[in-house]
Amino acid sequence: MSDDVTLTGELEDTDKGPRYDWSRVEAERLLHPKAWPHVVGIAVGLLALFWPDRTEVVVGRLIGLTLTVYGASTIWSARRFRPFPWLRVLLATAATGLGVFMTAAPIEAATTIGRLLGTVLVTKAAWNLLTIGRHRGSELGWRAASGSALAAVGLLLVVAPSGLLSAAVVVIACALISVELISISVILDPHRDASDPIPDTTALIWRWFSDRPKAVDDRQRLYRELLYEGDRAQTKIIRFSMLMIFASVIASMGVVSDSTAVVVGAMLIAPLMTPLMAMALSLVMGWPNRLGRSSLVALAGIALAIGIGLVIGLAEFTVVDTMTNGQIVSRSNPTVVDLVIAVAAGAAGAYGLSRPDVSNSLPGVAIAIALVPPLTVVGISYSQGDWDQGNGALLLFLTNAIAILVVGGLMFVMLGVAPLSRITENQYRVRTASATIAGATALIVGVLALNGTTVATNLVEQRATQRVVADWLEPFPRHSTVDVGLSGDDVAVVLAGPIRGAAPTADELADQLSSELGRTIDVDLRIRLETQETSSN
């Protein structure tokens, strides 16, 4: 079916699943032996997400124990099968050995396994790209997209294998919880005969997608609200442009004046989420032309926001210090935490658009995902010559945008907005676009994980520096700390106290800090003269 046919011919609802009557659910179904693994899977996923001290050592050993238990249990159960499953036992043995390695030496194992896996992925990507000339049509696009995605993931694993361990655990844990929740919802489906045998996980997932209830009563309403086509296309684009200009001006002025309230006001009127959601819908439906139109609208909005920020930054309405301005600093060091926020906000946005009865929540989504303010921060930071802060804000925007595309598309599928029949029909387009987005997502997650590791390391070193300074100053009770700053290998310390008499020296502090931080530290010590006046009668 062509991408340019009318919407009416594409909206036949073949997925009219029954609406669940959860009052008829029998909780005893969860006691079935095949239901227990799904309950345990949810518990493991939650444990991985909310472990109190999820350091790399703890995460590595948790994965190691899981692999060991899985491998050992698989080998033990394999003795009952006929014929004997040699391949399954071989894989289980490898998993057991890998689990023991990760349990005994989690950091070394993560580094070794990460680089080995990264090398394999890069090799596979190179093969896909080298043999791309043998393919034609949709297979050509799939080979190019999948090869690029594998190369991106592989290079990240080779460069920083252990630094991505925590991020990988979060992604896997979220995926595990989602899969197990879907499986349990099918097991508890009151329309399913409780006496029927419970199928495997793959069959449960497929049944859930096939029988899910219709999420919106009028798909055409949602499609026409998101897509830029038809008689109202020009009007929608003009309206989008005007709102983007207003939102960008307000956000820029809020940033330069360091006013949170003004920035929040700009978030409420910013329309950038609409073309991004249209891109997400076009991706899962396999609509390349509509994807192109939505992408052009989104890129125009991005250019407007950055350009207006740049102009207002150069206009010098007020002095902008990119290192102390709260609106800039808070948006220039994104981490995986920001990705989690963006994922939740993207899911909420897709859900709100799909369900008119909860559309009142969309202003809150706009505030949570914050698309326009980071873009204006990019322009303002560039205008002041601070490329690092601007690039950090651009990374935050890309994080939010990728989250909308990925999670928004998944939510549209899960909620029934994108019919399975349409996705199946355009599977080559969908999987090619998905591979491209997967590669971009891998890059964003990798950079966020590395940036988060850097931020966390700086925080730990800052606290260690303050502790060493406090211990170093104990023999000098007449002196007090005014400020302690750490920047790379340089430490600036400002004290208050008398200059005459016993006074601390920078050399001794430099030696102690070098020993604590494991590298040569230069200390800039300054003492502010503090006098005490006395009077006699």
Instruction: Please write the tens of the pLDDT for every residue from 11-21.
Output: 444 444 445 55
Highest mean pLDDT among 15-24, 277-286, 409-418, 443-452: 277-286
- Would you give the DSSP letter of residue 356? G
Per-residue confidence (pLDDT) for residue 3, from 0 to 100: 44
Establish whether domains 219-425 and 464-529 are of one fold. Answer: no
Task: Pick left, alpha or beta for residue 193 (phi over 0 → left; psi -120 to 50 → alpha; otherwise beta).
Answer: beta
Question: Which residues, in sequence order, are bridge partners of residue 213?
Answer: 17
* The domain over range 219-425 is classified in CATH as 1.20.1080: yes
First to last CA, the chain: 102
Question: Does pLDDT of 414 surpass 70?
Answer: yes
Per-residue confidence (pLDDT) for residue 241, from 0 to 100: 92
- Domain 464-529 is in which class? alpha beta
> Residue 34: which pLDDT band, with cuts at 50, 70 and 90?
low
Q: What is the pLDDT of residues 431-469, one digit of tens each?
A: 666 666 766 666 666 666 666 556 556 666 777 888 888
Q: What is the DSSP string of 165-202?
A: HHHHHHHHHHHHHHHHHHHHHHHT-TTS-TTSPP--HH
- Pick the more confident residue, 211 or 534: 211
Q: What is the pLDDT of residues 470-507, one digit of tens each?
A: 888 888 877 888 888 777 778 888 888 776 666 677 88
Q: Span 353-382, mean pLDDT?
A: 76
Q: Which range (117-121, 182-186, 277-281) has the least confidence? A: 182-186
Listed by start position, the domains of the chain span 17-211, 219-425, 464-529
CA neighbor of 296 nearest in space, from 339, 236, 251: 236
